[in-house]
Structures are given as C-alpha cells and as structure tokens.
Amino acid sequence: PLYENVALNSTVTASVNTVEYADGRWGLSYLTDGDVNMRFSTATLPEVDPETLIIPEPVTIDLDLGAAKGFDTLCLVPRVDTFDAEGGVPNFPFAFEVLISNDGTEYTSVLSVDSEENVDSMMQVFALEQQNAQYLRLKVTKVGNQAADEGVQNPYRVQFAELLLFDAE
C-alpha cells in the first residue's frame, strides 16, 4: 500500500463502557479493524450539556500499536449509517486532545482539536508533527448531537467508524 495504516488491528481500550454488539456492527475492536462499516461506540454518557455538548468527564480511548511506530497523520472516520437531527454526523468527537506515549504511563500532548460540529460525513484528517510512539490516546471532551434514530433518554455517546494513523514521510 502507498500508506500503511499503523493503527490497523491495534488493541483498543476506553475509560468508559462501550457498546459490544457484533450483529449490530458495534465494538471496541472495530475502531482499528480497517472496516468503516464496523463502528465504535461508548455507552450513553451521563451529564453531557445539551447546549455545549461538552462531556464533563473526558472519555479516553487508548490504542496500543504493539510497538513504537512512526506516524504524522491521524484520520477519524465518522459513522455514516444515520444522521443527527440537523442532518449532520451523530456523536462524532469534535473537541479532543491527541496524546502519545512510549510506556503507556507518561503521555505527551501532540494535538488539540476543537472543530465545528458537522463534518459532512467525510473522514477528518489531522496533520501531526512526525511522531514515534507505541501508545496513542484520544481524550474526547465534546461530542456532536445524538443520532436522530436514538431511542434513549440521554443519548449522547462518542461514536465513529475508524481511527487510522499514517506516516506520509
């Protein structure tokens, strides 16, 4: 391949409960499986402010790449199987920090993002300085509107289809 996804099949953990539903194509391991039709979702998040969509306790999603790997580009693929009430992408992380580590304990921030909510169903690409690390943490502090077809009282979640890391060097 022209660019190798160094996050492919990484071990993924999260600071909150996740939806694990193979028949519905939801699961923690699907975040790095290379298939954008399989998706990642947290369980519903309590106390998200419906006005600001800020998550009071940030959600962390950790990837163990298995060994230190070089990368300079992060891509987040939104779920595209449904929309939010405004026709945008539901539950997409819009404010987050990217942190890296070589020991899984001490993390260094390499990117901070606070973007507009509607990503028009397109993959979001974020350039980083050249990095070399075994661990990557996505610390999400704000999510998009809930899915229009969500049927629960507090429907806020962090959801997206895939996280990819590339080295364009």
pLDDT tens-digit series, residues 43-78: 999 889 988 999 999 999 999 999 999 999 999 999
Question: How far is 136 from 108, CA to CA, in rounded Å?
Answer: 10
Looking at residue 118, its pLDDT comes to: 62
Q: In this model, does residue 1 exceed pLDDT 60?
A: no
Decide: 169 and 102 in contact? Cβ < 8 Å.
no
Token pair 């606070």 is found at: 114
Decide: 161 and 38 in contact? Cβ < 8 Å.
yes
DSSP-derived secondary structure letter, 24: G
| Contacts (Cβ under 8 Å, ≥6 apart) of 159 | 39, 40, 41, 42, 79, 90, 91, 92, 147
Q: In this model, does residue 117 exceed pLDDT 70?
A: no
Question: How far is 30 from 10, CA to CA, in rounded Å?
Answer: 10
Strands (E), 15-104: 40-41, 54-77, 93-101
pLDDT tens profile 100-114? 999 999 999 999 999
Q: In this model, does residue 137 exceed pLDDT 80?
A: yes
Question: How far is 105 from 168, CA to CA, in rounded Å?
Answer: 27
Return the C-alpha torsion angle 33, 36, 40, 41, nearest 10: -170
| % of residues, the chain, pLDDT over 70 | 93
**pLDDT band (50, 70, 90) for residue 159:** very high
**pLDDT band (50, 70, 90) for residue 39:** very high
- State residue 25 phi and psi, 5-degree precision: 65, 40
